[in-house]
C-alpha cells in the first residue's frame, strides 16, 4: 500500500504537509472512519508512514501530519543520530500545543471532506503525538482517541475531565520518560472520568516502534494495536 503527501492549510495562515493513506479500493463497504496519526519527536519518518499504511490496511482513512512544521518544515530525524534525536527533544519542548491542536483540527476537516471518509474521526499518536492525542480528545469534537505513551500528559491533567469521547491511554510500566510513580499520578488524576481507559504494559517507552530493537515489544505492541483497532472499529457504525 502506498499513500500520498498532501498540503493542509493552517487556520492562522501557512500550510503544512501530511501523509495520507487510504484503504484499498473495495476492501470495506462504504466510506471508512478517518484517523489522524500523530508522530513522535522524530517527525513523519518512514516508520510513521508505514504505521499509517498499517492502519489504512485495517480499513481507515489515515492522515499523518507534520506537527513541528512551525519550528522546522518537513523535519525528520533519525533516532540513531544523537544530534538529530536531541533536536527532536528540543522541538518537543518548543511546540505550541494550542496551535498544534488547531492544526489537528485542520487535518480533521480535510479528512471529513474526503469522499472515502464516513465523517467519524479518531485520533492516535505516539510519544509527543500521544500527548497531542490527549489534548485533541479534551479540546476537539472527535469520536475516539488512543494515545501511545504520551510523555507530557501529566502537564495537562486538569484537561482530563473535558474528555467525553472513548479514550485509551497505552503506557509502559518501565517507561523512562514517564516513570511508574508519575504514571500512577496520571491514573489517579483521570480515574474519575469513565471515558478514559488506561492500559499498562510490561515494557518501556516506544514499545510499538518496530524499528527500535532496544525498545520494541512485539507482545505489548500487538496487544495495544488490537485494543486500538477494537475501539476505532466502533466508528464504522452510523
Taking only the tens place, the pLDDT of each residue in 134-153 is 999 999 999 999 999 999 99
Whether the model clears a pTM of 0.75, i.e. scores above it, the answer is yes
The reported pLDDT for the residue numbered 238 is 57
Taking only the tens place, the pLDDT of each residue in 99-126 is 999 999 999 999 999 999 999 999 999 9
Strand 196-201 to 117-126 pairing:
unpaired
Q: How confident is the model at residue 24 (pLDDT cuts 50, 70, 90)?
A: confident
The reported pLDDT for the residue numbered 27 is 56
Lowest mean pLDDT among 1-10, 87-96, 121-130, 179-188: 1-10
The reported pLDDT for the residue numbered 30 is 76
209 part of the active site: no
The reported pLDDT for the residue numbered 237 is 73
CB-based burial label for 134 (10 Å; 0-12, 13-18, 19+):
buried
The reported pLDDT for the residue numbered 4 is 95
Distance CA 41, CA 89 (A): 6
Mean pLDDT, residues 41-51: 97
pLDDT at residue 26 is higher than 70: no
Contacts of 30 (CB under 8 A, 6+ apart): 118
Beta-carbon count within 10 A of 9 CB: 12
Q: Identify the three-state secondary structure at position 230.
A: helix
Kindly name the residue from 170, 205, 209, 215 that is annotated as catalytic: 205
Distance CA 77, CA 57 (A): 26
N residues, the chain: 238
Q: What percent of the chain has pLDDT over 90?
A: 95
Q: How confident is the model at residue 172 (pLDDT cuts 50, 70, 90)?
A: very high
Segments in the chain forming alpha helices (H): 46-57, 82-94, 97-112, 128-139, 180-190, 218-233
All cell numbers assigned to 172: 509502559
158 part of the active site: no
Mean pLDDT, residues 192-214: 96
Kindly name the residue from 143, 175, 209, 215 that is annotated as catalytic: 175
pLDDT at residue 202 is higher than 90: yes
The reported pLDDT for the residue numbered 174 is 96
Amino acid at each position: 500500500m502506498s499513500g500520498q503527501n498532501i498540503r493542509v492549510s493552517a487556520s492562522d495562515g501557512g500550510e503544512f504537509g501530511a501523509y495520507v493513506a487510504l484503504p484499498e479500493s473495495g476492501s470495506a463497504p462504504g466510506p471508512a472512519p478517518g484517523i489522524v496519526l500523530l508522530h513522535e519527536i522524530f517527525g513523519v519518518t518512514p516508520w510513521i508512514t508505514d504505521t499509517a499504511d498499517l492502519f489504512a490496511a485495517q480499513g481507515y482513512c489515515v492522515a499523518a501530519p507534520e506537527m513541528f512544521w512551525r519550528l522546522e518544515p518537513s523535519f525528520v530525524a533519525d533516532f540513531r543520530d544523537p544530534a538529530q534525536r536531541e533536536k527532536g527533544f528540543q522541538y518537543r519542548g518548543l511546540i505550541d500545543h494550542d496551535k498544534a491542536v488547531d492544526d489537528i483540527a485542520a487535518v480533521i476537516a480535510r479528512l471529513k471532506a474526503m469522499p472515502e471518509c464516513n465523517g467519524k474521526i479518531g485520533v492516535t499518536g505516539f510519544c509527543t503525538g500521544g500527548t497531542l492525542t490527549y489534548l485533541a480528545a479534551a479540546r476537539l469534537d472527535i469520536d475516539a482517541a488512543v494515545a501511545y505513551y504520551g510523555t507530557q500528559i501529566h502537564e495537562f491533567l486538569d484537561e482530563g475531565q473535558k474528555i467525553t469521547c472513548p479514550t485509551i491511554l497505552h503506557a509502559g510500566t518501565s517507561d523512562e520518560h514517564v516513570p511508574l510513580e508519575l504514571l500512577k499520578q496520571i491514573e489517579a488524576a483521570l480515574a474519575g472520568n469513565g471515558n478514559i481507559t488506561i492500559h499498562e504494559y510490561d515494557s518501556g517507552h516506544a514499545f510499538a516502534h518496530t524499528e527500535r530493537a532496544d525498545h520494541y515489544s512485539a507482545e505489548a505492541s500487538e496487544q495495544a494495536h488490537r485494543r486500538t483497532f477494537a475501539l476505532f472499529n466502533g466508528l464504522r457504525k452510523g
